[in-house]
Amino acid sequence: MHGFSSSERVRIPLDDRSYDIAIGTGLLDDPAAYEAARPGSQALIVTNTTVGPLYAERLASVLARRHAKVLRIELPDGEQYKTWESLNLIFDALLGGGADRKTTLYALGGGVVGDMTGFAAACYMRGVPFVQVPTTLLAQVDSSVGGKTAINHPLGKNMIGAFHQPLAVVCDLDVLKTLPPRELSAGLAEVIKYGPIADMAFLDWIEANIDALRACEPAALAHAVKRSCQIKADVVGQDEREAGLRAILNFGHTFGHAIEAGMGYGAWLHGEAVGAGMVMAAELSRGLGLVDAAFVQRLTRLIQRAGLPTRGAVIDTHDNAGRYLQLMRVDKKAEGGEIRFVVIDGPGRAAVRAAPDALVRQVIDRCCA
Amino acid sequence: MHGFSSSERVRIPLDDRSYDIAIGTGLLDDPAAYEAARPGSQALIVTNTTVGPLYAERLASVLARRHAKVLRIELPDGEQYKTWESLNLIFDALLGGGADRKTTLYALGGGVVGDMTGFAAACYMRGVPFVQVPTTLLAQVDSSVGGKTAINHPLGKNMIGAFHQPLAVVCDLDVLKTLPPRELSAGLAEVIKYGPIADMAFLDWIEANIDALRACEPAALAHAVKRSCQIKADVVGQDEREAGLRAILNFGHTFGHAIEAGMGYGAWLHGEAVGAGMVMAAELSRGLGLVDAAFVQRLTRLIQRAGLPTRGAVIDTHDNAGRYLQLMRVDKKAEGGEIRFVVIDGPGRAAVRAAPDALVRQVIDRCCA
């Protein structure tokens, strides 16, 4: 099937860790998409029980031209499996298959598969290369790019992980056709995110094209993935290890992670939690006097049109705001117990700020179901 | 008690990851030894049930001057506990204690505590700083230096880990006084190692001072730790991530790791396995025509005088050599199923080589109990 692909590339500029995101159609079966991987070495495809039956055979076929041996493992599907136990299944497969230090891992799936495969690659024999082959919109526009890998801990999301950049990211837009509408909407949350933090013209474009995106129109998806990756590449290129700027990509995530952990991982999709979390973060920004009510309304309306929840979950019926605060205090941006929020500091510009507990409580009370 | 310390420093030159090893007496209680750690942040002391009761209180006292809050955790003692389960105890302590991204971890113990604390620091919130406070000779001369961190997998030693450099290494020679003789001998294996791979004059010195070292004479220990750290600093400074040269530090370890995994982690101390492993690696070097019998005898004699086993364990009564080969094929230096051994390529010089299975089998048959 190769030879019929069509793609554009976005470069992540990170010195000797630089790599390309290929975005286009027909890429899954295109040998050229995998040329960054060392030829001759072994490969392990990590996927899940949903994506594996759809695409693993095709990926294995194209990789068999490049690698001496192609192993496969299917993990259970869902955020609730982003754990040590699943990670150990990857290590068992690697050691059981005789995988050496030059083995290349391939993450074929969404954000959970990508995060776990990347973390396994970071740790196996203290580091082996890996390639991201994201099959969800969320993974194509956000999680597969930038080298953040992690698993969850019961007390906090993505608490255990590593920065480990892939050799390449292969975004085949064709695979999005099999994505359930709920997953597509979840991915749109991370697309929308880039507008208020960095590019209001992109937000205009998303508003004008939200229906086309939800209908999976190829040209609309191609632009959304490409522009999202460009913005992410720009941010990550300036601040790979989140010394500062990179934190803005977590807009909506501080509240969102509290929803995910508070409801139990997997109850809400990550993108759904980020959708409601962005509304809460926008509301907090308004409370801090940084944006006006019209801005919050505009963003809320778009999140709703994307098919996402715009109200946070009630995660504790006795003291909902207190439970949010408790969970947010272990956020990675927190320092000395002080939560630091990504806020919108005027349309198109994000900042990281502390906020008074009383105001945060008000926002939570106002924004939860 | 501070103000009475006496120490020398060895620098590990790694650009922005450079740090000092302080070697001397009275360092445990000396605030100056910990000045590389960020003041004001939280600290977590990770130790084990053997070392904790002896030294954790003293370390906590001196750290209380520097850190806002000092948490502690004691892990079970022994190589058999270098596992995910123990690692998770560290993460539980960190998250339960509200440890943020600026928290400093302190490894107070031997190689197992150091390797696990370092790996926890590498992964917690994708990386926090840590300090090594090694309390065994083995950790002071080898494992605490150079940033290799890991846990074991049932199928192979140190298979899951990271390169993560400490902020500082604090080698207080006084704490070696409480070291059991068996642990002291295990540490001498890693001291002896530096002679044949890099410095035959140091080997002469060890031979002349082996009784003083076993008697824990301060001047002898001070020199052994310092010279060992200098050689390791030189090697690690040239090849932090083991692209090549650094592998020579694994002399004796390929056979040794097979003994440890084959006997069950903890049955042999790591240094004991390395002792017998060096005899086997020297014998292999002889079989490859690289050194003569007198060299093997000399090294074997010194290993024996250090109180270490000079014969490998029988790890399988039916096919001992076959089991060694099977375990060694998952060694991190192996490539495509071919085992690569650190051999002595003439006294004072190491090389990494493959060897015919038949020869390796002969060596194992000749060298095992």
Classify residue B1: in a domain, yes or no: no
Q: Under 8 Å CB-to-CB from B73, ≥6 apart: which residues?
A: B44, B45, B46, B47, B89, B90, B93
- Where residue A330 sits, what CATH number does that domain have? 1.20.1090.10
Average pLDDT over residues A84-101: 95
* Residues B22 and B41 grouped into a single domain: yes
Last residue of a domain, one of B153, B178, B203: B178
If asked whether residues A153 and A205 sit together in one domain, one would say no
Name the percent of chain A lying above pLDDT 70.
99
Q: At what angle do helices A320-328 and A357-367 cross, to 10 degrees?
A: 120
* Residues B147, B245 within the same domain: no
Residues B129 and B242 in one domain: no
Question: Dihedral of CA B121/B126/B128/B130: which sign?
Answer: positive
> pLDDT tens digits for A59-72?
999 999 999 999 99
- Residues A169 and A190 placed together within one structural domain of the fold: no
pLDDT tens track for A165-178: 999 999 999 999 99
Dist. CA B67–CA B45, nearest whole Å:
12
Average pLDDT over residues B141-168: 96
CATH number, residue B57: 3.40.50.1970
Mean pLDDT in residue range B227-235? 97
Residue A3 has pLDDT above 70, yes or no: no
Q: What is the tens place of the pLDDT at every residue in B282-305?
A: 999 999 999 999 999 999 999 999
* Structural domain contains residue A277: yes
CB of A128 closer than 8 Å to CB of A102: yes
pLDDT value of residue B337: 84
pLDDT in tens, B6-36: 889 999 999 999 999 999 999 999 999 999 9
My answer on whether A262 and A358 are in the same domain is yes
Q: Mind listing the pLDDT tens digit for each residue in B54-111?
A: 999 999 999 999 999 999 999 999 999 999 999 999 999 999 999 999 999 999 999 9
Residue B247 has pLDDT above 80, yes or no: yes
pLDDT for position A71: 97
Cβ-Cβ contacts under 8 Å, A122 against chain B:
162
Asked if residue B3 has pLDDT above 80, the reply is no
**Angle at alpha carbon of residue B41, lines to B39 and B47, rounded to 5°:** 100
Same domain, A168 and A283: no
A144-200, pLDDT tens digit by residue? 999 999 999 988 899 999 999 999 999 999 999 999 999 999 999 999 999 999 999
Q: Are residues A159 and A43 in the same domain?
A: yes
State yes or no: pLDDT of B221 exceeds 70: yes
Contact B123 A156 (CB under 8 A): no
Annotate A60-104 with DSSP letters as a single string: HHHHHTT-SEEEEEEEPPSGGG-SHHHHHHHHHHHHHTT--TT-E
Q: Which of A15, A17, A100 to mutate to test the interface with B (most CBs of B within 10 A)?
A: A100
Cα(B360)–Cα(B356) distance, integer angstroms: 6
Question: What pLDDT shows up at residue A94?
Answer: 97
CB B111 within 8 A of CB B136: yes
3-state secondary structure chain B: CCCCCEEEEEEECCHHHCEEEEEEECCCCCHHHHCCCCCCCEEEEEEECCCHHHHHHHHHHHHHCCCCEEEEEEECCCHHHCCHHHHHHHHHHHHHCCCCCCCEEEEEECHHHHHHHHHHHHHECCCCCEEEEECCHHHHHHHCCCCEEEEEECCEEEEEEEECCCCEEEEEHHHHHHCCHHHHHHHHHHHHHHHHHHCHHHHHHHHHHHHHHHCCCHHHHHHHHHHHHHHHHHHHHHCCCCCCHHHHHHCCHHHHHHHHHHHCCCCCCHHHHHHHHHHHHHHHHHHCCCCCHHHHHHHHHHHHHCCCCCCECCCCCCCHHHHHHHHHCCCCCCECCECCEEEECCCCCEEEECCCHHHHHHHHHHHEC
CA distance A247 to chain B (A): 13
Residues in chain A closer than 8 A to B122 (CB atoms): 162
Per-residue confidence (pLDDT) for residue B4, from 0 to 100 = 61
Give the pLDDT confidence score for residue A302 in this predicted structure.
98
A101 contacts B332? CB cut-off 8 A: yes
Q: What interface predicted TM-score (ipTM) does this complex get?
A: 0.95
**Residue finishing a domain among A178, A200, A229:** A178
Mean pLDDT of B159-182: 97
In a domain, A1, yes or no: no
pLDDT of B2 > 60? The answer is no
Q: Nearest Cβ partner of A95 from B95, B150, B156?
A: B156
Catalytically annotated residues of B:
126, 148, 190, 232, 242, 246, 250, 253, 257, 270
pLDDT range class, residue B367, cuts 50, 70, 90: very high
pLDDT for residue B5:
76
Q: Indicate the average pLDDT of chain A.
A: 96
Residue A94 sits in the same domain as residue A198: no
SS3 letters across A110-176: CHHHHHHHHHHHHHECCCCCEEEEECCHHHHHHHCCCCEEEEEECCEEEEEEEECCCCEEEEEHHHH
Same domain, B192 and B121: no
Q: In chain A, how many domains are there?
A: 2
Task: Kindly state whether residues A229 and A106 are assigned to the same domain.
Answer: no
> Which of B96, B98, B330 lies nearest to residue A337, judging by beta carbons?
B98
> B200-218, pLDDT tens digit by residue?
999 999 999 999 999 999 9
Feature table: binding site of B for NAD(+)? 77-82, 111-115, 135-136, 148, 157
Residue B80: Cβ within 10 Å count: 15
Give the end of a domain, one of B117, B145, B178: B178
The boundaries of the domain holding residue A68 are 6-178
Residue A115 marked ligand-binding: yes
Interface test with A, best of B92, B94, B123, B328 (most A CBs within 10 A): B123
B86 and B209 co-located in one domain: no
The partner residue sitting opposite A84, judged by closest CB among B88, B162, B329, is B88
CB-based contacts of A14-18 (< 8 A; 24+ apart in sequence): A14/A147, A14/A165, A14/A236, A14/A237, A14/A240, A17/A147, A17/A165, A17/A240
